[in-house]
Chains A and B, each alone.
Chain A
């Protein structure tokens, strides 16, 4: 029998109370229980960063976090960035710079970059590389991604 726990948390600004299965990853919970499928599943072993979300403001690989750990915490996913149907400036910068080809890494990249911009309003290339070191882009859009992050920092 699978153990279940009631967890209370906020996701993208809204308070929620849900049942989470012990042993389920936060990634699976976000996609299958909260139906927020912007967060992507790539490797599920911490290597690709497609599943990056902000937990209490910090970027983490949601495939390596247990859903029950969300209890009492604040979660921000890619869906939480746009306001009233308007993209936030980092999302817009990714579009302006065509900072993707297939787009699979994009939600994770944007979440990791957003957290960088909160820590450091004007990052250089090295600082961007460091913050995105856990995020892989198999299409190789790294240069455009750096440009988008820098451009959005200027605005």
Chain B
């Protein structure tokens, strides 16, 4: 058993204060990555700062600008949210594909992106939705596009003392269909071997892929072929995804398998959303 302190903060500023001043203090949300990581020796915190009950992070609202998802909102809450299912189903699918039902009762969207696994299932959908990450820290607030938030495996743009306050999905919501397709070793409770998000925006398509590079990445080559050069064949367009990725071999799959699967899934994604 590890030895560390646990604090349940009552206000956001208190949490920021502790995180800024104390070394090895970690925000603790659903704990589904932290608890496993602590057991495995990946994290060795001196203090866990429980942020789940902070009112500022429990915001979940829709307005004429978009949808704000506070950092304490769980993946099950997102996967069951009426407006998300209706307007941005790709995010409901990505959220729903994380772990099993009981995991998603604790796991948060913010925790999924802050853990910054290249395979994070919510990341690729967020990349296709122009999501913004709202950050709060000792120097105040700032916002970053989700694509600038991921900086490497397990690494984010967060600076010392900063934490994610919410994730914002701006309007207008996509006019066309969006899908998140995940290949994993088991039907549930496993990280993606490859994850592909394809979002039809009516006039153009956005595609992001996970678990095939150091961070989730946009498939710009495929997007360009379709959006700018008018490529009509999904099979031809999907081949170009190889230019955008740099997969590795690990226990979930080999580099070659990932090259193959990502192309197959991009093609299927295009067929399902674009009809090309």
Contacts and interface: CB of A to CB of B under 8 A. Distances in A.
Whether chains A and B associate is yes
Interface of A: 1-3, 5, 21-25, 44-47, 49, 52, 58-61, 63-66, 68-69, 71, 112, 130-136
Contacts of B1: 2, 21, 23-24
A47 B35 contact: no
24 contacts: A3-B6, A23-B1, A24-B1, A25-B35, A45-B35, A45-B36, A45-B39, A46-B36, A47-B189, A59-B105, A61-B102, A61-B103, A61-B106, A63-B35, A64-B30, A64-B35, A64-B106, A66-B6, A66-B31, A68-B6, A71-B8, A112-B102, A133-B188, A134-B189
A23 B2 contact: yes
Interface residues of B, number: 25
Interface string B17-46: 000000000000011100110011000000
A111 to B, nearest CB: 9
A58 B36 contact: no
B1 to A, nearest CB: 5
A67 to B, nearest CB: 10
B101 A133 contact: yes
Given A3-B6, A21-B1, A66-B6, A112 B36 contact: no
Given A45-B36, A134-B101, A65 B31 contact: yes
Given A64-B36, A66-B31, A69-B50, A49 B6 contact: no
A97 B174 CA distance: 47
B188 A134 contact: yes
A131 B101 contact: yes
Given A64-B35, A64-B106, A133-B189, 16 more contacts: A3-B4, A5-B6, A22-B5, A23-B1, A23-B3, A23-B4, A45-B36, A45-B40, A46-B32, A52-B102, A60-B105, A66-B48, A69-B50, A112-B101, A133-B188, A135-B100
The 7 A-B pairs at the shortest CB distance, nearest first, are namely: A134-B100, A133-B100, A134-B102, A64-B35, A133-B188, A22-B6, A45-B36
A49 B101 CA distance: 10
Contact of A3 (B3, B8, B102): B3
A130 B106 CA distance: 16
B138 interface: no
B4 A49 contact: no
B39 A65 contact: no
B99 interface: yes
A66 B66 CA distance: 35
Contacts of A1: 3
Contacts of A131: 101
Contact of B105 (A44, A45, A58): A58
Contact of B99 (A52, A65, A69, A134): A134
B103 A22 contact: no
B191 to A, nearest CB: 11
Nearest to A111: B102
Most-contacted residue by chain A among B3, B6, B99, B101 (CB, 10 A): B101
A137 to B, nearest CB: 13
Contacts of B36: 45-46, 64
A61 B31 CA distance: 11
A22 B106 contact: no
Most-contacted residue by chain A among B3, B40, B50, B106 (CB, 10 A): B106
